[in-house]
Structure 1
Amino acid sequence: MEDWVYRALAKWPNVPAVFGWMGLDRRGRWTIRGEVITRPQIIDTINRNYAADEQGRWFFQNGPQRGYVKLEYAPLILRIDGDGKLITHTELLVLQASAAFLDEHGALTLSTEHGPGVLDDQDLNWALERLHVDGEVVDEEQLEAALNLDSGESTELRLFVGERAVSVTRVDAAELAGRLGFVCEPVA
């Protein structure tokens, strides 16, 4: 959080939070009442002041007021930048992941040092190059076998993030929030 946020919180500590206004879509775009925010200065401010509370509800701290965010899929959207590095939609570099989850549609979600993030589907080639079975790059048959597992089952897949390989579990999209401890539709 930025210093101005802390000063505003100290000056006005009891401003009620708002729910149902802000959203984060599957592409990492911020929305207000369903409309995509396009102004770079506003996006940068939201990115720098985005966090989660102890209940797993993600929010934008706008000075003294907390605006809880409705998540279309996950709290973070992961992308590959121009240098081939994994970053969050809020521009944080991802250096480590502790687990990976493959949903029934092939979406890949990682538990990172910044929180849970789903890989942007435009960057799936990055994942395919790093998914391995027994030290070899995954083939179509192995990937299909993983997708056909029941939700909650461990796959043979390992995903390399940096120097570390993490196990991949097949988990239905509807179960990810509960499994990773975040709330998609925060309420008061």
Structure 2
Amino acid sequence: MNEELAAALKPWPKVPACYGWLSLDRRGHWRLQGERIEHAGLIAFLNAHYHADEAGNWLVDNGPQRVYVRLEYLPWVVRLRPDGSLLTHTGQTTVARAPVLVDQDGCIVLDTAVGPALLHDLDLADFVAALCDETGQPVSEAALLALFEGETRQAILWRDLPLQPVRSAELPARFGFQPDPSP
């Protein structure tokens, strides 16, 4: 065995996990100690190594070190694409499943194939324009406001998926994630 291969096979040193430094904001931007990360290479690295552990903590593996991510809202942020698909903040294409949740502030929560996702706020107008009732008719503003307040006076659909009210405080338990991991 050559020296290079032997060095590659050595176990990683024990390094402490990192908490409180890395976060994901409501627009899917990575932040380091509150400052938005702009470096394309670092963003690509974070996107490629982002995942959840068995306890519902979201993190990035940095070699042997686990860097836990504080979530401003949800583990994923998605954008609506012109073809109707959803694109995550990490660049993955995903699909939504029923139900679509609307919190008390009008935030749209999608249960996607990759996990719970917040719809990017720049896509809210297109989202609302696609809402309809069971007969395919546009939804009234009053019906939407009632949904924000937790009432369901009539069925509201987005891409044939029903909308349901939810309180944002319920989301971590509902989807099994830790918004602010700690040791």
Common fold: TM-score over 0.5: yes
What whole-Å deviation, never above 9, does each CA across 1:47-67 have from its counterpart, x for those lacking one? 011011111111111112110
CA 1:130/1:9 → structure 2, altered by over 3 Å: closer, same or farther? farther
Aligned match of 2:170: 175
> Aligned pair count?
175
Identity among equivalent positions (%) equals: 38
8 Å Cα contact 2:96-2:110 kept in structure 1: no
Which protein has the larger Cα radius of gyration, Structure 1 or Structure 2?
Answer: 2
Residue in 1 that maps onto 2:131 = 131
Q: Which moved more, 1:67-76 or 1:120-129?
A: 120-129
The Cα of 1:21 is off from its aligned counterpart by 0.9
Q: Give unpaired runs (5+ residues) of structure 2.
A: 1-7
Match of 1:76 in 2: 76
Indicate conservation of the 8 Å contact 1:154/1:170, yes or no.
no
After superposition, the Cα gap between the structure-2 partners of 1:96 and 1:109, relative to the gap in structure 1 and judged at 3 Å, is closer
| TM-aligned CA distance change 1:154 to 1:93, over 3 Å | farther
Letter paired with 1:37:
I
AA paired with 1:20? G
Question: Which one-letter code corresponds to 1:143 in the other structure?
Answer: L
Q: What TM-score, normalized by structure 1, do the two folds share? A: 0.83
Contact kept? 1:100, 1:169, Cα under 8 Å: yes
Residue 5 of structure 1 is matched in structure 2 by none
The answer to whether the 8 Å contact 2:30/2:36 transfers is yes
Change (3 A) 1:170 1:113: same
User: 1:58 is aligned with what amino acid?
Assistant: W
Corresponding residue for residue 149 of structure 1? 150
Query: Which deviates the most, 172-181 or 106-115?
Result: 172-181
TM-score, length of structure 2 as denominator length? 0.85
Alpha-carbon distance in 2 for matches of 1:13, 1:135: 61
- Partner residue of 1:3? none
> Match of 1:159, as an amino acid?
W
- Per-residue Cα deviation, 1:70-94 (whole angstroms, up to 9, x for no partner): 0111111111246553211111112
Name whichever of 41-50 and 174-183 sits farther off: 174-183
Partner amino acid, structure 1, of 2:146: A
Identify, as 1 or 2, the structure richer in strand: 1
